[in-house]
């Protein structure tokens, strides 16, 4: 689905995406990076525990690894509908267990649990850092990021596994525990180390949400640098594009209230107080209506006219596994964003939603493509169907086509992030 006047690639946008990916080794860091961009654009944080006023302008709510941000134009009425860009902040990885200090045979290790549907082999023999959120004795939180070669999950040498190249089989419990030193296991050692790294007094950390990340920075790839390789594109690419689009439309006279909704825990079902199946989005939208003096009737009218773009990465056609894709739908990198369709409601797109997305892309001069799964292959899902069912909001599933999804390091086209952000901007403008 091409456009006669395509948007031009902006390397500055992709440079900023690469900085955003590097700054977001955990969902907590990702929402902090998004909030920093919003603050520079004049948005201000509002607390859920405060009374919300009816003032206009840009606002955002942070809760754990989720962020909801919106802009209220001057003259907005209580029943004004919303235009929402939805995404998620989490990515498949390895996460630290409650009792992290372990080891055997003279090796000191960190006990981890597999989070989401990660490609386990991509975490092997890779220099890894550690990042996340520390919870302190006084109830406050502190972000920590050890972005250096701290951990490694060593693969067994081929001399000891002659069949490794015939199909590597990894036991999630036995084979995925990273090493971080030599010597006897010392209980409490990891948390004491992180307290020192974060400048926190010993014994002040009483809880943690920590995860492993690859320390290799994002990079342009290929002879003509037309590809980008990096971590957590699924789905920080969409969070970055949505943040850029919201900032771009803030300050304009709009017929809708533009919203960015970036949730946590999509990779394991979205069932949390910061996930798409939780009440966070509905609560924020309702409070926004009521803060402007609206009634339940105004809330119902606003929701009835609301549309959400659920943006998540999708599968580009793979040059080595073309048979795994639908024979007539082959999304290509740098071909523009994809519209995702699944009649069994793994994606929420219908014909009406397709028309909304097509109109936004046409307005922005952005080419777009169709994605549908091979009938013989199971289809993934997104926050789209959850958002539609949870809030009764028309939802359209879109994204960017990438390779190596759920790897520790994924691959996209250099043009597509900018094209996605342009399409989102046109959608939020109405």
pLDDT digits (tens, 9 = 90+) for 357-366: 999 999 999 9
Both 255 and 342 in one domain: the answer is yes
Which of 186, 214, 242 marks a domain boundary? 214
Q: How many CB atoms lie within 10 A of CB 187?
A: 11
The bridge status of strand 338-340 relative to strand 369-371 is parallel
Residue 396 scores a pLDDT above 90: yes
The residues with which 84 forms a beta bridge, in sequence order, are 259, 308
Both 311 and 389 in one domain: the answer is yes
Amino acid 4: pLDDT: 42
Amino acid 180: pLDDT: 97
pLDDT digits (tens, 9 = 90+) for 292-326: 999 999 999 999 999 999 999 999 999 999 999 99
Residue bearing the bigger pLDDT, 123 or 12: 123
The verdict on residue 222 lying in a domain is no
The verdict on residue 220 lying in a domain is no
d(CA 353, CA 371): 14
Percent of the chain with pLDDT over 90: 94
Both 120 and 185 in one domain: the answer is yes
Please report the sign of the dihedral spanned by the C-alpha atoms of residue 19, residue 128, residue 408, residue 234. Answer: negative
Please report the sign of the dihedral spanned by the C-alpha atoms of residue 234, residue 238, residue 244, residue 246. Answer: negative
Instruction: Provide φ and ψ at 45, rounded to 5°.
Output: -75, 140
Residue numbers of the domain that contains 24:
11-91+231-429
Peptide linkage before 235 cis (omega within 30 of 0): yes
Both 380 and 263 in one domain: the answer is yes
Residue 191 scores a pLDDT above 50: yes
Instruction: For residue 102, give the CATH number of its domain.
Output: 2.30.250.10
Both 293 and 184 in one domain: the answer is no
d(CA 79, CA 195): 48
Residue 101 scores a pLDDT above 90: yes
Both 155 and 68 in one domain: the answer is no
Residue 1 scores a pLDDT above 70: no
d(CA 356, CA 396): 8
Amino acid 3: pLDDT: 47
At residue 267 the predicted structure's pLDDT band, cuts being 50, 70 and 90, is very high
d(CA 360, CA 423): 6
d(CA 43, CA 249): 12
d(CA 174, CA 266): 26
The verdict on residue 221 lying in a domain is no
Amino acid 5: pLDDT: 44
Number of domains in the chain: 2
Average pLDDT, the chain: 95
CA atoms within 13 A on the CB side of 317: 18
Range 106-133 average pLDDT: 98
Instruction: For residue 37, give the CATH number of its domain.
Output: 3.40.630.10
The verdict on residue 4 lying in a domain is no
Both 164 and 246 in one domain: the answer is no
The verdict on residue 294 lying in a domain is yes
pLDDT digits (tens, 9 = 90+) for 5-60: 445 567 899 999 999 999 999 999 999 999 999 999 999 999 999 999 988 999 99
Q: Burial level of 174, CB count in 10 A (0-12/13-18/19+)?
A: exposed
The verdict on residue 1 lying in a domain is no
pLDDT digits (tens, 9 = 90+) for 168-185: 999 999 999 999 999 999
Amino acid 9: pLDDT: 61
pLDDT digits (tens, 9 = 90+) for 326-336: 999 999 999 99
d(CA 389, CA 281): 13
Both 62 and 104 in one domain: the answer is no
Q: How many CB atoms lie within 10 A of CB 42?
A: 12
Both 47 and 30 in one domain: the answer is yes
d(CA 424, CA 20): 18
Locate 299 and state its tokens: 């809330």
Which of 154, 182, 214 marks a domain boundary? 214
d(CA 413, CA 131): 27
d(CA 309, CA 330): 22
Which of 185, 214, 243 marks a domain boundary? 214
The verdict on residue 223 lying in a domain is no
Amino acid 55: pLDDT: 85
Please report the sign of the dihedral spanned by the C-alpha atoms of residue 420, residue 423, residue 425, residue 430. Answer: negative
Both 248 and 328 in one domain: the answer is yes
Both 314 and 354 in one domain: the answer is yes
Both 114 and 182 in one domain: the answer is yes
pLDDT digits (tens, 9 = 90+) for 59-68: 999 999 999 9
The verdict on residue 79 lying in a domain is yes
pLDDT digits (tens, 9 = 90+) for 238-252: 999 999 999 999 999
């Amino acid at each position: 689905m091409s456009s006669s006047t395509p948007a031009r690639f902006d390397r500055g946008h992709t440079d900023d995406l690469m900085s955003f990916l590097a700054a977001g080794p955990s969902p907590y860091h990702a929402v902090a990076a998004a909030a920093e961009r919003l603050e520079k654009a004049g948005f201000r944080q509002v607390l859920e525990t405060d009374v919300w006023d009816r003032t206009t302008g840009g606002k955002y709510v942070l809760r754990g690894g989720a962020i909801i941000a919106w802009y209220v134009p001057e003259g907005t009425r209580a029943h004004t509908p919303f235009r929402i860009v939805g995404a998620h902040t989490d990515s498949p990885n390895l996460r630290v267990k409650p009792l992290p200090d372990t080891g055997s045979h003279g090796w000191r290790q960190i006990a981890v649990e597999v989070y989401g549907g990660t490609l386990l082999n991509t975490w092997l023999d890779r220099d890894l850092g550690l990042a996340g959120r520390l919870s302190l004795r006084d109830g406050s939180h502190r972000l920590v990021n050890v972005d250096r070669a701290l951990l490694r999950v060593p693969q067994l040498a081929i001399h000891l596994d002659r069949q490794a190249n015939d199909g590597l089989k990894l036991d999630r419990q036995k084979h995925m525990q990273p090493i971080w030193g030599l010597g006897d296991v010392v209980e409490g050692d990891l948390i004491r180390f992180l307290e020192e790294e974060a400048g926190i007094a010993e014994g002040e950390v009483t809880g943690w949400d920590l995860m492993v990340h690859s320390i290799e920075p994002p990079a342009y790839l290929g002879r003509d640098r037309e590809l980008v390789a990096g971590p957590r594109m699924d789905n920080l690419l969409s969070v970055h594009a949505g943040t850029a689009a919201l900032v771009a439309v803030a300050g304009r006279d709009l017929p809708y209230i533009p919203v960015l909704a970036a949730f946590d825990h999509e990779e394991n079902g979205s069932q949390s107080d910061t996930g798409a199946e939780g009440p966070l989005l509905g609560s924020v939208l309702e409070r926004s209506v009521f803060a402007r003096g609206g009634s339940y009737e105004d809330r119902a009218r606003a929701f009835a006219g609301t549309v959400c773009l659920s943006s998540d990465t999708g599968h580009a056609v793979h040059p080595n596994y073309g048979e795994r894709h639908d024979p007539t739908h082959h999304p290509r990198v740098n071909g523009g964003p994809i519209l995702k369709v699944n009649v069994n409601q793994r994606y929420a797109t219908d014909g009406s939603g397709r028309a909304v997305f097509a109109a936004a892309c046409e307005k922005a001069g952005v080419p777009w493509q169709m994605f549908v799964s091979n009938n013989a292959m199971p289809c993934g899902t997104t926050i789209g169907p959850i958002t539609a069912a949870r809030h009764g909001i028309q939802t359209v599933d879109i994204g960017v086509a990438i390779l190596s999804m759920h790897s520790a390091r994924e691959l996209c086209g250099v043009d597509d992030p900018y094209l996605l952000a342009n399409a989102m901007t046109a959608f939020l403008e109405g």
